[in-house]
Amino acid sequence: MFARTRLILGMAGRYLVKRRRQTIVAVAGVGVGVGFFLAVSALMIGSQNDFVETLIDAAPHIIISDEIRSPSPQPAVVALPGGAVQVRGYKPRNEVRGLKDWQQIARAAEAIPGSVVAPSLSGAVTLRVGGREEALGIIGVDPAIQEKLGNIEENLAQGRLRDLETTQGGIIISEDLADRLGVGMGDIVGATSRVGNRTLKVVGLLARGRGQLGGNGYVLLREAQSLTAQPFVINSIGITVPDPYAAEEIAADLEARFGYKAQSWQERSADFLALLLTRNVIMYSVVSAILLVASFGIYTVVSNSVVDKRRDIAILRSVGFSEADLQRIFIAQGIVLALIGVLVGWGLGLLLMQILGSLEFNIQGRVENIPLDRRPRQFLIAGGASLFCAVIAAWLPARKAARVDPVDILRGAA
């Protein structure tokens, strides 16, 4: 079997070598197709991964808030299940906001190996400096825990998260907000909350362009409890898990156990993720079309070869080669072309990625490179898809080769 494969590959190779120009064009077609497939997919998936990473890192992977998706049933409804009388027009009891028994929820979340659980309290204040006022959502955090999450600390342009602990009334705000208020590091700002007026000191500035993260101000947890007049209350638990992609399942489990709304990062970003899916479908359609067009070159080479080699086909049939052997010889031509084309394409893809990766862009004062996905997965997809297209492109004319009637050819030549 191995000897026959060698023979067939050798014959296919010999036919290709003799049709050098067509072979080069077909290989170049596949190479360019694979190369651009890799460059485009590296660009698209790289930017997607970067975007998803930003989504994941912008906030805890799961946020449990003091909300419930559907109101709990009223006591009368619970007491009379399936009753004939429908209770209507009752006055629901006012619930105190905040997570009840949050320590129990936190313990359950901490039981997940490698997880970091960060209780927080969010509220709203108005910051004032001179005549300027800016409304701001504030989040009270525990810096020791937040440090483990890293999302605030890593995005600080100035200051440190731990400064919240050492500075009375410290606050971290974004550089954008600081500009609008005309304040900088160490400056004092006035803060108005529902308990009255206070002063806060800017101890950290979040870098620009940090989206959701930069939209809030960060203070010490007890400072937030004091500002919102909710001592010992927390209304949110942020959970970071080792595998962000398991967040959805864990969130559903925690919500089922404790009743509070547990939102995974996937749920919070569902719109964006759906958009990315659409973008991927478009991208793969376009790059697959490139590979498909490249396979037309292979079809042309093999098809021409079948037409030119009708006499050889008749000779080989008379010598004892079977129809399947002949089909394999021509399919092997397509596979050999595709394999060489894929190798050329991988090289071209790497070169294009190198060029794209070396480009530098100035984004809001920071020099950044284009994020690229260089994982082997894309190389394998491009190679596999090209080989598949090549086999189909070669199989179509190869079928004709197998159907050639040797007697017609031999009679015609005589």
Partner 1 sequence: MEARGLGRTLPGEPPVPLVRGVDLEIMPGRFHAVIGPSGCGKSSLLYLLGLLDRPTAGTLTFDGVDTLPLDGDARAQLRLERFGFVFQFHFLLAEFTALENVALPIRRLGRLSGSAATQQAMSMLEAMGLADQAGKTPDRMSGGQRQRVAIARALANDPSLVLGDEPTGNLDSQNSARVVEIFQRLARDQGRAVVCVTHDPEVAAAADVRIHMLDGIIEKID
- Considering just the CA atoms, what is the radius of gyration of the chain in Å? 33
- The mark string for 348-387 relative to partner 1 (x by CB under 8 A, - otherwise) is ----------------------------------------
Answer for which of 124, 157, 185, 315 binds partner 1 (CB under 8 A) is 315
Q: In angstroms, what CA-CA distances link 7 with 11, 220, 400?
A: 6, 77, 21
Decide: 63 and 337 in contact? Cβ < 8 Å.
no
Decide if residue 414 touches partner 1 (CB under 8 A).
yes
| 240, containing H or E segment | strand 236-240
Decide if residue 255 touches partner 1 (CB under 8 A).
no
Decide if residue 21 touches partner 1 (CB under 8 A).
no
Instruction: Give me the helix-helix angle, 270-308 and 20-58, nearest 10°.
Output: 170
How many CB atoms lie under 10 A from the CB of residue 61? 27
- The mark string for 316-355 relative to partner 1 (x by CB under 8 A, - otherwise) is xxxxxxxxxx------------------------------
Answer for which of 66, 223, 255, 312 binds partner 1 (CB under 8 A) is 312
Question: Distance (Å, rounded) from C-alpha 250 to C-alpha 296?
Answer: 48
Question: Distance (Å, rounded) from C-alpha 280 to C-alpha 51?
Answer: 14
- Taking the least distance from each CB to partner 1, the nearer of 62 and 326 is 326
- Taking the least distance from each CB to partner 1, the nearer of 176 and 325 is 325
Decide if residue 18 touches partner 1 (CB under 8 A).
yes
**In the complex, least distance from residue 315 CB atom to partner 1, rounded to whole angstroms:** 5
Decide if residue 302 touches partner 1 (CB under 8 A).
no
Question: Distance (Å, rounded) from C-alpha 270 to C-alpha 273?
Answer: 5
Answer for which of 69, 107, 194, 411 binds partner 1 (CB under 8 A) is 411
**130 dihedral zone (left: phi>0; alpha: psi -120 to 50; beta):** left
Q: With 0-12 CB in 10 A as exposed, 13-18 as middle and 19+ as buried, what is 302? A: buried
**In the complex, least distance from residue 303 CB atom to partner 1, rounded to whole angstroms:** 18
Decide: 250 and 112 in contact? Cβ < 8 Å.
yes
Q: At 123, list the tokens.
A: 């509220």
**In the complex, least distance from residue 392 CB atom to partner 1, rounded to whole angstroms:** 24
- Residue among 402, 379, 378, 382 nearest 390 (CA): 382
Stretch that binds partner 1, among 14-22, 76-84, 131-139, 212-220 (CB under 8 A): 14-22
**In the complex, least distance from residue 3 CB atom to partner 1, rounded to whole angstroms:** 5
Answer for which of 4, 100, 148, 194 binds partner 1 (CB under 8 A) is 4
Answer for which of 77, 80, 188, 407 binds partner 1 (CB under 8 A) is 407
Question: Distance (Å, rounded) from C-alpha 218 to C-alpha 207?
Answer: 14
Note the residues at the interface with partner 1 (CB under 8 A). Answer: 3-4, 6-7, 14-15, 17-18, 311-312, 314-325, 406-407, 410-411, 413-414
